[in-house]
Each structure stands twice: as structure tokens, then as C-alpha cells.
């Protein structure tokens, strides 16, 4: 895979065939091309979260696919929806660190189910 475009879902097999570093680099390159590169460690972390969401989608995580479909139907483009899904992931990981807990797939599913385009837009 030599190109990435958040508006178009990457082929899951091709995506998962890439090494993790290649995935981060291709997402970083996409953001740089659009003039959206944050630079430094912030830009790298941003790309890593995109990759995690794309990985979960490519692996067929049903609650994530359902949330993506809902967000697209509510008017977000795929790029915005990836950001919205990433915000849920960041919140989930933050809660895990604060509460000293392990990943709870059911809680993550519930958080994804509660995500709407309106809530995401209102968050910031």
C-alpha cells in the first residue's frame, strides 16, 4: 500500500499485511500531504490513533463498524468519523489508566454505541 486516504477504507488484507510502522508512516504522509500534520510527537501520536482505529476496522470489530456506519449516516465524512472513533478510544484508554483497570470490551462497545455525530461535534 503506497497511499492512504481516510475518506476511503483501505483494503483490510492489504492494510493488515503492512508492518505497524509502515501503517503509521502512510497515515502521517497523508496528513502531511493535506497540510494537517501536527508535527513532532503530537503528529506521531495522532497517526498512531488513526492506525489503531483502522486496525480495528480491518480486523472486523463489529461495534466499531456499527459506530462508523452510524456516524457516516449522521453526516460525518469518513475522516471525521475516524477522529470521532479515535476520541472514544482515547477516552477509554484514559479511563483505564485513571482507574487502573484492563480493557473491558463491553464498556468499549457501550461507549461506541453512545457516540453520535452531534456529541462528537459538541465535544470540540
- The residue ranges of every structural domain in the chain are 1-60, 61-124
Q: Which helix (H) or strand (E) holds 39?
A: none
SS percent in the chain: helix, strand, coil, step 5:
70, 0, 30
Please state, rounded to an integer, the average pLDDT across all residues of the chain: 88
Across the range 7-20, mean pLDDT stands at 90
C-alpha neighbours within 13 Å on the C-beta side of residue 90 = 14
In whole angstroms, what is the distance from residue 46 CA to residue 70 CA? 23
Lowest-confidence segment of 41-55, 74-88, 109-123 by average pLDDT: 41-55
Lowest-confidence segment of 41-50, 64-73, 82-91 by average pLDDT: 41-50
CA distances (Å), origin 33, targets 8, 22, 30, 72: 16, 16, 5, 24
Lowest-confidence segment of 4-8, 22-26, 48-52, 58-62 by average pLDDT: 4-8
In whole angstroms, what is the distance from residue 23 CA to residue 2 CA? 10
Amino acid at each position: 500500500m503506497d497511499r492512504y486516504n481516510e475518506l476511503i477504507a483501505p483494503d483490510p488484507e492489504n492494510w493488515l499485511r503492512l508492518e505497524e510502522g509502515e501503517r503509521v508512516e502512510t497515515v502521517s504522509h497523508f496528513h502531511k500531504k493535506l497540510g494537517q500534520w501536527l508535527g513532532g510527537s503530537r503528529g506521531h501520536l495522532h497517526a498512531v490513533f488513526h492506525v489503531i482505529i483502522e486496525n480495528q476496522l480491518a480486523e472486523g470489530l463489529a461495534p466499531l463498524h456499527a459506530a462508523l456506519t452510524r456516524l457516516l449516516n449522521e453526516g460525518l465524512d469518513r475522516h471525521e468519523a475516524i477522529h470521532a472513533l479515535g476520541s472514544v478510544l482515547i477516552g477509554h484508554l484514559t479511563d483505564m489508566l485513571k482507574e487502573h483497570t484492563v480493557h473491558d470490551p463491553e464498556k468499549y462497545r457501550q461507549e461506541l454505541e453512545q457516540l453520535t455525530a452531534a456529541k462528537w461535534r459538541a465535544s470540540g
